[in-house]
A and B are shown apart, each in its own frame.
Chain A
Amino acid sequence: MNFDYTEEQTLLDNMVTSFVRDNYDWDTRCNIVKSEEGWKEENWKQFAELGLLGVPFDEAYGGLGGKSADLMIVMEQFGKGLVVEPYLPTVILAGGLISKLGSEEQKNSIIPEIISGNTRCAFAYAEPQSRFDLNDVKTSAVLNGDDYVLNGFKSVVFGAGMASHLIISARTDGEQRSESGITLFIVDTKSEGLTLQNYPTIDEYRASEVIIENLKVSKDNVLGKVNMAYDAIEEIVDNSTIAACSEAVGILQVLKDSTTEYCKNRKQFGQSIAKNQVIQHRLVDMMIEYEQAKSILYMAVTADLTNSDERRKAVSAAKARIGKAIKFVGESAIQLHGGMGVVDEYMVSHYFKRATMIGVLFGNTDYHMRRYMTLTQSGISSSDEAISVSVT
């Protein structure tokens, strides 16, 4: 048992930490999110140079063959800097789907382009009615000769505006909520029939509504098997959920540490407000929530993610528990900062907003709580031995 980073992981950690320190000070970040593009291509090029864009990809395609622990390291540091470049949508979400389902040809043509920083992708899965249900897909794809024709609407697609390609989930068979009958398509964002409505999110990231009208997609651009995409979507979204949790843990650390510092320095009634026990205990509870969040993230990262039931259980446990920590630590950070907490100018509100939106991403606390309960509701979890309880 050990929670230490390997030598390579320590190097990775140091690398991302220095990137954030040297390229992402607060003023720089403010300028990036205020710019028209909402991100900085130069940073992306630097990710490529540092090898960050290749972390999870197979070495055969030029990647580093990293695992969820390596992505955790990257995302935790990105969380600390509130890095807005679309790493999660491109590398982990879309990249994960291509790695999982792509043909050799697709992988050879796309993955090296992602790693080199030339291409960014996004995954369009949510729809206005679907909420967090990945199986709820109304967008349709009908085969017509050698092309599929897609019609429908995709909601809140993160990073779509910066992407050259979208992966779109569409229904090729079955009822609206059927797990079978979902197919993925790789589409150029400039295709006719595709309209992107780009907008900033409340936490200053970028997302898009995607309108799909008679969009023609060649059969060659189907990703994976027709009708069979659901399991892969769930798996890759689960992996991305761990990445989002990692980002959240990085943010929570900043919120906890900066609030502690603030309370030490802020004087009222002639003394530091941190001298008040009511403030001290709130700060301690923030620390406890942070530690518990970090612990359950470690649980998920070290779980056997190749076993789909273990993966689902671990991911939902982590997302639900971290969601609770986000709410407590975030709201406490604002409260203890007083008036400084609610202004746009001071950084604490930005961390709070991002953490809160991560709380929604890939399913909120209630959603994952229910999924966790469904997986464990038989009464006894599979790994534990039954105990006998006699009833008289």
Chain B
Amino acid sequence: MDTAFSNEDLKFQSEIRDFIKTNYPQELRDSINSKRKLGKELSREDLTAWHKILGKHNGWSAPSWPKQYGGAEFTPTQKYIFEQECAKAECQYIMPFGINMVGPVIYTFGNEEQKAQHLPGILSGEVFWCQGYSEPGSGSDLASLKTSAVKEGDHYIVNGQKTWTTMAQYADWIFCLVRTNPDAEKPQQGISFLLIDMKTPGVTVRPIKLMDGSHEVNETWFDNVKVPVENLIGQENMGWTYAKFLLAHERSGIAGVARSKKAIERIKQIASSEMSYGEPLIQDPAFKAKIAAAELELSALEYTELRTLAKDSAGKGPGPESSLLKIKGTDIQQTVTELAMEAVGYYANPHLGTTLSNEYVGPDYATNLSGTYFNFRKASIYGGSNEIQRNIIAKMVLGL
């Protein structure tokens, strides 16, 4: 048992650190910070600039991808270090839909043409992807989805509605679960995995505003959308297998340990400035105890993730254990966003910390902490709700 970094790991760590220092654009940091403050939506460029820079450097935009597909193929330790350094430097996170989700599906189940067509754009960040899984009637019960794809000649005709499509407003492509066999014995058996160009006639995107006022998710409508059969991944009606593979990948990245660590450091900073009972809030026994409890949970989760990563290095993909990371990781993210909001007292109130005439109010650090708290209620719902994750563990790990 050994968790000390080797000399090579330390060299790698400083390489990453130096790279971020030299290559993370100050303009990007400024642009994102000022937009966050004003409650403005991040642009496509904001979301992809860092991805594009990493994509030009040894496949660093895709830490887990095999080298043969242009990825970095980091070891588990390197992945951990990379995540940590990016979080410490508060780099914009890489959108997961291409790199973590559809990418691995394409290189695992796609054909050579699909790999050649799509992988380079995902890697470089030039092509923006979104996810077409959930439907208005299919949330946790994903397999009940109704969006239909009917084969006509060399095309599928797609009709239906997807929802919660994150960042569809910027997306060039969407990967969709569609029903190709409505008569299959089990609902899981009639589903296919289809790649759809968002510019195809009949695709309509409508925004859904979240309770913090942000526009992250959308409704995506398909009205007689013609999709070439070449865009089918793997075999028809086998989509559920690929979907499950993808969900396991999605869940493993979802713990966000490094970013929660950074967030706790920030809360401690804030709580050193905020006063309560004439003392810095960080000295308040009740608040202090909550911070400490969050730290312990995070410490434990960090080692749970490291243990999972170490197991993964044996070449096996993430298994149902990744549900544990999703449950605990999002649990902590929600605790942390709550503590941050709590730390600023009354200044949780001003919406986006600005007056009607666009002047800032309250301390700089208080801006939108309540918005983030409200926004993050999503975390225990998306990616398979935490109740569904418990069902998965019950069935797959405990054999119940």
Contact = CB atoms under 8 A, between A and B. Distances in A.
B292 A372 contact: yes
A211 B301 CA distance: 45
Interface in A114-133: none
Contact of A387 (B265, B292, B391): B265
B363 to A, nearest CB: 5
Interface in B294-336: 295-297, 299-304, 306-307, 309-310, 324, 327-328
Q: Which of A275, A295, A301, A320 has the most CB of B within 10 A?
A: A295
B356 interface: no
A392 B363 contact: yes
A260 B365 contact: no
A390 B2 contact: no
A269 interface: no
A281 B365 CA distance: 38
A342 interface: no
B299 A317 contact: yes
Of B1, B288, B397, most buried by chain A (CB within 10 Å of CB) is: B1
B155 interface: no
Binding site secondary structure of chain A: helix
A287 B300 contact: no
Interface stretch (A1-9, A26-34, A142-150, A346-354): A1-9
Given A292-B300, A317-B296, A302 B1 contact: yes
A280 interface: yes
Given A3-B1, A379-B282, A296 B364 contact: no
A284 B324 CA distance: 9
A298 B305 CA distance: 12
A336 B393 CA distance: 18
B390 A281 contact: yes
Nearest to B78: A1
B304 A274 contact: no
A202 B303 CA distance: 33
B299 A321 contact: yes
Interface residues of B, number: 56
B391 A277 contact: yes
Contact of A260 (B80, B269, B398): B398
Given A1-B310, A263-B400, A292-B328, A391 B365 contact: yes
A377 B282 contact: yes
A293 interface: yes
Most buried by A among B262, B296, B399: B296
Interface in B87-118: 88
- What size tier do the contact residues of chain A reach? 35 or more
A133 to B, nearest CB: 19
Contact of A284 (B272, B360, B390): B390
B231 interface: no
B130 interface: no
B341 interface: no
A302 B1 CA distance: 7
Contacts of A263: 400
A2 B289 contact: no
Contacts of A287: 324, 393, 397-398
Considering the complex of A and B, which 6 residue pairs feature the smallest CB-CB distances, nearest first? A295-B303, A280-B394, A292-B300, A296-B300, A302-B3, A295-B304
Interface of A: 1-5, 9, 69, 260, 263-264, 274-275, 277, 280-281, 283-285, 287-288, 291-293, 295-296, 298-299, 301-302, 317, 320-321, 369, 372-373, 376-377, 379-380, 384-385, 387, 389-392
14 contacts: A1-B80, A3-B306, A4-B310, A281-B390, A284-B398, A287-B324, A292-B300, A292-B301, A301-B1, A320-B292, A321-B299, A384-B265, A389-B365, A391-B365
Interface of B: 1-5, 9, 76-77, 80, 88, 262, 265-266, 268-273, 280, 282-283, 288-289, 292-293, 295-297, 299-304, 306-307, 309-310, 324, 327-328, 360, 362-365, 387, 390-391, 393-394, 397-400
